[in-house]
Amino acid sequence: MVRTDIERARELAQELVDVLAAYEEELIALERETPALGPLRRAVGMAVAEAVYLISDGAPPH
C-alpha cells in the first residue's frame, strides 16, 4: 500500500503531538515556579494545536 503525502503528514503531526505534549505538561508545572517560561510553554502549546489541526481538519480528503 502506498502512503499519500497527507497520510505521512498526519503521521508526523501525531508524532509531534506525542513528543511535545509531555514537554508542555512539564512546562506548565515549571511555569508556576518560573513565570518567565510562559512564552516557551505557549509556543509549545501552539505547535501542538497546529499539529492536532493538521491531524483532524487541516488536510483535505482524497
pLDDT of the residue at 59: 53
Given a contact cutoff of 8 angstroms between Cβ atoms, the answer to whether 47 and 20 are in contact is yes
What's the pTM value of the predicted model, to 2 decimals? 0.68
- Domain encompassing residue 10: 5-58
pLDDT digit of tens for each residue in the chain (62 aa)?
456 888 888 888 888 888 888 888 899 999 999 999 999 999 988 988 888 887 787 555 54
Q: Report how far residue 26's alpha carbon sits from residue 3's, in angstroms, rounded to the nearest whole number.
A: 34
**Angstrom distance (rounded) from CA 60 to CA 5:** 11
pLDDT at 50: 85
Which helix (H) or strand (E) segment holds residue 21: the answer is helix 5-33
Q: What pLDDT sits at residue 62?
A: 47
Count of structural domains, the chain: 1
Decide if 10 contacts 52 (C-beta within 8 A). Answer: no
